[in-house]
């Protein structure tokens, strides 16, 4: 009996010990965990300019953040940037903050740093009990260059005559490698591209004025170097203002009953019962804007950062065709004699025979083939350096995305797809993501005076072939 009682007591003590030791062990394992805190720097930099903002993201899911410190070491001297002590949640709970982001504002001049090499040093620790309660640490050093001198810009082209709604070209040299450079027209940026000339510091930048931008539009060239220093330079230019034509488009019930069933509006659940005129207005406004955004997005996001020029000579127009609508026509839509809408026509409508073969206006790479709402079956060709041609309302397409085409290759046939009332080609030209007047690109004299003569005037082309 005594033995049984003794064994019972021992078993009870064992259970108590297990009940105590298991949570204690688990607690100690948690508090003694050995995973270092996370430290992510954005952007990842190799140079620091005259004013640099960096964001550091810190994380420690297990025990929480204890301390963060950052500084810059140059010539054996460390310049303090930030030191942050995070609050404790108590001995048993670790830190209160498990993840946070901190901004580092670095102004080399105010910090007494000089141009040249330096080291960005950062260390973060957590509330782990490792290392005799000092915690786990993450230590990072980044070799950087202090560079407070902005790049220099030398504009090499001397005359820049641009028409409202038209295209232009600037060629310029920057004094050092740059993160971003190009031409700003009003508030719109057109990237410059290197690589056409042997000197890779020379950039070609095609730019455009939208049909809305007149003589008061400001133009400049800018460059941002790897350290974030920015330079902006002016260049001589003259803007010719242009008055665009007014055009009246009659909308009939016959047209509405023919075309509207093809479209789904934003209110797709009720589009079947929506009055045809209301549906037309939704298509002509909302879907038109979405389609425009889609096309300009293709141009904005395709192409290469290098100065690849595929085209050669003037651009072709649809052979034996009559112009039915002009670029930037100010259209007024009338139904039963009253004005119901106003829109701008961002291309040229060309009509020939039904299902007429459409030639590629010039050499390039097909970057888009698909149906786009009001534009119907559409092909977009990249001609290099941010120059694109668009072909819409096609009845059929004979090319595919990624295909290289030569000037004059048949890419499809005219049709009535989309919001077209008759068989024709809607032809457009874009510079980067801005529609421009195609008439300029059909004119060999305009191309020679405004584009190729400028390219020819720059020496040492990497490729002797000039369009």
Cα-to-chain-centroid distance, residue 50: 26
pLDDT for residue 35: 87
The three-point CA angle 202-205-208 to 5° equals: 165
DSSP conformational letter for 88: B
Give yes or no for residue 18 having a pLDDT over 60.
no
Same fold, 38-146 and 150-243+437-467: yes
* Residue 10: pLDDT over 80: no
∠ CA(169), CA(330), CA(289), 5° rounding?
75
pLDDT for res 27: 46
pLDDT in tens, 172-209: 999 999 989 999 999 999 999 999 999 999 999 999 99
CATH code matching the domain that covers 246-435, chosen among 1.10.287.10, 2.70.70.10, 3.30.70.3290, 3.40.50.10490: 2.70.70.10
DSSP 250-294: EE-HHHHHHHGGG---SSGGGTTTS-HHHHHHHIIIIIHHHHHHH
What is the pLDDT averaged over residues 157-176? 97
pLDDT (tens digit per residue) in 352-406: 999 999 999 999 999 999 999 999 999 999 999 999 999 999 999 999 999 999 9
Q: Would you say residue 20 has pLDDT above 50?
A: no
Band the pLDDT of 9: cuts 50, 70, 90.
low
Could you tell me the fold of the domain covering 38-146?
Immunoglobulin-like (2.60.40)
Q: Which CATH class is domain 150-243+437-467?
A: mainly beta
Q: Is the pLDDT of residue 22 over 60?
A: no
Q: What percent of the chain has pLDDT over 70?
A: 89
Would you say residue 466 has pLDDT above 60? Answer: no
Q: Where are the domains of the chain?
A: 38-146, 150-243+437-467, 246-435
pLDDT at 24 (0 to 100): 44
The residues near 46 (Cβ < 8 Å, ≥ 6 apart) are 142, 143, 144, 145, 226
What is the per-residue pLDDT across 347-359, written as a single tens digit (0 to 9) for each? 999 999 999 999 9
């Amino acid at each position: 009996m005594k033995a049984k009682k003794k064994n019972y007591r021992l078993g009870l003590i064992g259970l108590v010990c297990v009940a105590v030791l298991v949570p204690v062990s688990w607690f100690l394992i948690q508090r003694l965990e050995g995973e270092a805190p996370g430290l992510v720097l954005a952007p990842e930099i190799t140079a620091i300019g005259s004013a640099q903002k960096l964001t550091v993201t810190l994380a420690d899911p297990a025990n929480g953040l204890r301390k963060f410190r950052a500084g810059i070491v140059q010539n054996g001297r460390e310049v303090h940037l930030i030191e942050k002590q995070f609050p404790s949640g108590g001995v048993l709970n670790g830190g209160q903050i498990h993840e946070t982001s901190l901004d580092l504002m670095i102004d080399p001049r105010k910090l007494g740093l000089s141009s040249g090499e330096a080291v960005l040093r950062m260390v973060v620790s957590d509330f782990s009990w490792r290392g005799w309660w000092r915690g786990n640490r993450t230590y990072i050093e980044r070799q950087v260059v202090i560079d407070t001198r902005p790049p220099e810009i030398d504009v090499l082209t001397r005359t820049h005559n641009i028409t409202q709604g038209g295209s232009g070209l600037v060629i310029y040299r920057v004094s050092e490698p740059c993160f971003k450079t190009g031409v700003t027209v009003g508030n719109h940026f057109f990237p410059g591209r290197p690589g056409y000339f042997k000197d890779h510091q020379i950039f070609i930048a095609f730019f455009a004025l939208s049909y809305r931008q007149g003589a008061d539009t400001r133009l400049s060239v800018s460059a941002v170097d790897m350290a974030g220093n920015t330079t902006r330079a002016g260049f001589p230019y003259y803007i010719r203002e242009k008055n665009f034509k007014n055009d009246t488009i009659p909308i009939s019930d016959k047209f509405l009953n023919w075309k509207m069933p093809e479209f789904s509006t934003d209110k797709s659940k009720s589009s079947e019962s929506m009055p045809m005129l209301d549906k037309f207005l939704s298509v002509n406004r909302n879907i038109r804007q979405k389609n425009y955004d889609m096309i300009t997005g293709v141009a904005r996001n395709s192409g290469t950062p290098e100065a690849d020029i595929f085209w050669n000579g003037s651009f072709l127009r649809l052979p034996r065709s009559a112009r039915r609508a002009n670029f930037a026509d100010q259209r007024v839509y009338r139904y039963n004699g009253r004005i119901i809408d106003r829109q701008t026509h961002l291309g040229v409508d060309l009509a020939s025979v039904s299902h007429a073969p459409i030639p590629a206006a010039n050499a390039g790479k097909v970057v888009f083939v698909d149906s786009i709402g009001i534009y119907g079956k559409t092909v977009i060709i990249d001609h290099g350096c941010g120059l694109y041609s668009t072909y819409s309302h096609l009845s059929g397409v004979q090319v595919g995305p990624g295909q290289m085409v030569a000037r004059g290759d048949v890419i499809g046939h005219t049709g009535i797809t989309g919001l077209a009332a008759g068989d024709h080609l809607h032809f457009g030209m874009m510079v980067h993501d801005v529609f421009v007047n195609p008439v300029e690109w059909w004119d060999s004299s305009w191309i020679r005076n405004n584009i190729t003569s400028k390219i020819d005037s720059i020496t040492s082309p990497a490729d002797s072939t000039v369009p």
